[in-house]
């Protein structure tokens, strides 16, 4: 089965996505997050970022702040899309690949480090039809590895059948933790190759994807 990340993988939305998150976090927490903070993070999921950044707060207060950041983030994303409707655009080939895999009977699932509300909005405005696909998000789990595992389980499959497609070194780390194959895609290709990813693509053109998948074996 194929499990897809979304941001930077199915949707080329990094600028609007991160700017919306950063604005929302600053609005709720009262301070911003710098490159040094992100460099020290083991987990890159929306839930993990908020909870690590606000680690000095009591657990219940962190949860409340996470909810507030999520709500503000969705508001900022809606505003970004209103200003520039193409800011959450599908990666070239993504829509065709999703249709082709499903038509061929290949199990497909979504496992994203974003929250369910925000990722649902971005998938909708990107025009990607994921209706009926099993999906797990940072709303349900803290770590990316747990999100991927839960998506596979929700699909009724086992990890030894799964291939994960993502754009970040954190995706590759999660796959190594789970012991599953990884296909890289997107704007961080050189970083992925430097981290040891063997199959890295510029986009999700179906022919190139199928070749990369075949080379995993």
Q: Are 185 and 150 in contact (CB under 8 A)?
A: no
Mean pLDDT of 170-182: 96
pLDDT, one tens digit per residue, over 85-138 is 999 999 999 999 999 999 999 999 999 999 999 999 999 999 999 999 999 999
Domain boundaries, the chain: 2-13+88-215, 15-86
pLDDT at 178: 97
Give the architecture (CATH level 2) of 2-13+88-215.
Answer: 3-Layer(aba) Sandwich (3.40)
Report the DSSP pairing between strands 11-12 and 89-90: antiparallel
Write out the H or E segment, with its range, that includes residue 144.
helix 144-154
Helix (H, G, I), strand (E, B) or coil at 59: helix
Distance CA 197, CA 184 (A): 7
| Closest C-alpha among 92, 134, 137 to residue 112 | 137
Total-model pTM: 0.95
């Amino acid at each position: 089965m194929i499990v897809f990340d979304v941001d930077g993988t199915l949707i080329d939305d990094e600028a609007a996505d991160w700017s919306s998150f950063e604005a929302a976090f600053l609005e709720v927490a009262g301070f911003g997050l710098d490159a040094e903070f992100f460099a020290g993070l083991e987990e890159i999921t929306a839930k993990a970022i908020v909870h690590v950044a606000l680690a000095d707060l009591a657990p219940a207060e962190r949860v409340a702040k996470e909810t507030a950041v999520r709500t503000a983030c969705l508001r900022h994303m809606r505003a970004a899309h209103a200003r520039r409707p193409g800011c959450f655009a599908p990666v070239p080939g993504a829509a065709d690949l999703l249709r082709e895999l499903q038509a061929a009977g290949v199990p497909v699932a979504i496992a994203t480090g974003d929250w369910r509300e925000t990722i649902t909005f971005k998938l909708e405005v990107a025009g990607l039809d994921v209706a009926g696909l099993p999906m797990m998000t940072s709303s349900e789990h803290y770590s990316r590895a747990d999100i991927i595992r839960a998506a596979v389980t929700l699909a009724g499959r086992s990890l030894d059948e799964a291939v994960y497609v993502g754009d970040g070194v954190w995706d590759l780390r999660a796959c190594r933790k789970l012991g599953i194959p990884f296909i890289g895609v997107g704007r961080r290709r050189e970083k992925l190759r430097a981290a040891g990813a063997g199959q890295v693509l510029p986009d999700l053109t179906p022919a190139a994807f199928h070749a990369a998948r075949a080379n995993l074996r």
